A = this chain, B = another copy of it.
Amino acid sequence: MRIFGLGLMALTLLIRPVMAQEISSYSLENGMDVIVIEDHRAPVVVQMVWYRAGSADEPAGVSGIAHFLEHLLFKATDDLAAGELSDTVAANGGSDNAFTSYDYTAYFQRIAADRLELVMKMEADRMRDLRLTVDDIATERDVILEERNTRTENSPDALFSEQRRAAQFMNHRYGIPIIGWKHEMQQLSLEDALAFYRRFYAPNNAILVVAGDVQPDQVLTLAKKYYGPLAPTADLPKRSRPTEPPQLAERRLTFVDERIAQPYVIRTYLAPERNSGDQKQAAALTMLADLLGGSAQTSVLGRKLQFETSKAVYTSAYYGGQSLDETTFGLVIVPSQGVGLAEGEALLDQAIGEFIKEGVDADQLERIKMQIRASLVYQQDNVQAMAHEYGSALTQGLTIQDVKDWPKVLQQVTAEDVIKAAELLLDKNRAVTGWLTNPTAQKEASQ
């Protein structure tokens, strides 16, 4: 029951491309998409069901309901007792879990390949036949509130991230935390959960991804048997969320917390995302993030600010290109002892200014492209990562073809593409610069 997209670490994950390969896809009569990824090296299978419904699809005022519902899906159905699905999976030597992000909620099991029918039957059952009670709500709401306490309330980094995102997005729900605002989580009701469930948990809003030691026609037969009879949501509206107005003013915020030992600066720019059939700019931004912040030894920020001048103990650049709507590109600098945040930020700007002027180092670009090609090999070795790749892409506005094209689009990025994308991106009017600091450092800085 993980949440993606919260905090710094999640955002620094590189989007890993995959090589073109044989993928089968179908559409059931009730509108459900089915993707099969064959991999016969080991007798295991991963079943994932992805819903085109994440926290950014929530109605106003009930933040956290997407993630809350993800927890509640482990409660009883008409055929299963609460917890029975996970218990059955474990008893059969498998594992299962679920996760929620801005654009999707997904459920998965990893189990011996001959148990696919077992997990499919259970997963299909809870798509439409959940039987929630008021008790379930009360119990599980305490769980998600505790999750928020642990993950967010006790973490100045996480609180800082929430405040920054709220400033970054003026209109889009990407500015609202996936886990929810605490005061709204406390009010989430059975009615809220059921409204979200009935609307979004339906075959015409879901994608089944099965990866592993299976035959496509066998998967399709099972999918028709178990998911086929489920009723679609009638009149499911087009998926369209409020988008950003022009961002016209440079924004800054300072978060002060005495627990912060190592103050840092993080700046995010509103950035275009990967769009279906049009991934070129996103590919250039992916390269830009890697060029600027990919490695401490060879990246632009690492070299200029850490290795050569020791002005920073850490730098980073990251880009969340896979996103249904406009996303962000981030820069981080953790200045060295004795270097204040204002100086650190000025050095960061200076380093990036120099980079734009000097242009892309051809060797570095080639090295990164080679690393990306190599990473594909590792990726393909992980059947669950492949399933994740397709499931997330398809719930974020991309197609199977887009996923297949992505490695090629990345390899075609030129030095000029990167600089052009950087110049378009680096508009401070579309940026939020955050300082995370402690009272002592803040006091020193203002003297």
Q: A171-B181, A175-B170, A184-B242 are in contact. Are A249 and B61 (CB under 8 A)?
A: no
Q: Are A250 and B248 in contact (CB under 8 A)?
A: no
Q: Are A183 and B252 in contact (CB under 8 A)?
A: no
- Bound together, the chains give a CA A175 to CA B176 distance in angstroms of 14
- Bound together, the chains give a CA A228 to CA B173 distance in angstroms of 41
A176 touches which one: B61, B160, B171, B248 (CB < 8 A)?
B171
* Inter-chain contacts of A252 with B (CB < 8 A): 251-253
Instruction: Verify if A276 is at the interface (C-beta below 8 Å from B).
Output: no
- Produce 1/0 per residue, A290-333, CB < 8 A to B: 00000000000000000000000000000000000000000000
* Inter-chain contacts of A248 with B (CB < 8 A): 159-160, 163, 255
- Bound together, the chains give a CA A429 to CA B437 distance in angstroms of 13
| Chain B, residue nearest A61 (CB) | B242
| Chain B, residue nearest A169 (CB) | B166
| Chain B, residue nearest A173 (CB) | B60
* Inter-chain contacts of A176 with B (CB < 8 A): 171
* Inter-chain contacts of A167 with B (CB < 8 A): 167, 170, 251
Please tell me the number of chain A residues within 8 Å of chain B, measured between CB atoms.
37
- Bound together, the chains give a CA A170 to CA B159 distance in angstroms of 13
- Bound together, the chains give a CA A254 to CA B252 distance in angstroms of 9
Q: Are A434 and B163 in contact (CB under 8 A)?
A: no
Instruction: Verify if A382 is at the interface (C-beta below 8 Å from B).
Output: no
- Bound together, the chains give a CA A307 to CA B44 distance in angstroms of 81
Instruction: Verify if A240 is at the interface (C-beta below 8 Å from B).
Output: yes
Q: Are B171 and A166 in contact (CB under 8 A)?
A: yes
* Inter-chain contacts of A170 with B (CB < 8 A): 163, 166-167, 175
> Which residues of A222-245 are within 8 A (CB) of B?
240-243, 245
Q: Are B253 and A434 in contact (CB under 8 A)?
A: no
Instruction: Verify if A247 is at the interface (C-beta below 8 Å from B).
Output: yes
Instruction: Verify if A369 is at the interface (C-beta below 8 Å from B).
Output: no
> Which residues of A122-173 are within 8 A (CB) of B?
159-160, 162-164, 166-167, 170-171, 173
- Bound together, the chains give a CA A245 to CA B240 distance in angstroms of 25
* Inter-chain contacts of A241 with B (CB < 8 A): 60-61
> Which residues of A409-429 are within 8 A (CB) of B?
429
Q: Are A249 and B171 in contact (CB under 8 A)?
A: no
| Chain B, residue nearest A168 (CB) | B167
* Inter-chain contacts of A159 with B (CB < 8 A): 248
Instruction: Verify if A373 is at the interface (C-beta below 8 Å from B).
Output: no
A249 touches which one: B63, B160, B242, B250 (CB < 8 A)?
B160
Q: Are A181 and B245 in contact (CB under 8 A)?
A: yes
Q: Are A251 and B251 in contact (CB under 8 A)?
A: yes
Instruction: Verify if A182 is at the interface (C-beta below 8 Å from B).
Output: yes
- Produce 1/0 per residue, A20-58, CB < 8 A to B: 000000000000000000000000000000000000000
- Bound together, the chains give a CA A255 to CA B428 distance in angstroms of 10
- Produce 1/0 per residue, A372-403, CB < 8 A to B: 00000000000000000000000000000000
Closest 9 CB pairs of A and B: A166-B170, A61-B242, A181-B245, A249-B255, A163-B249, A249-B253, A252-B252, A251-B253, A250-B254
Q: What 10 new A-B contacts, CB under 8 Å, besides A249-B256, A251-B252?
A: A59-B60, A63-B242, A160-B249, A162-B245, A163-B247, A164-B249, A166-B245, A167-B251, A182-B245, A249-B253
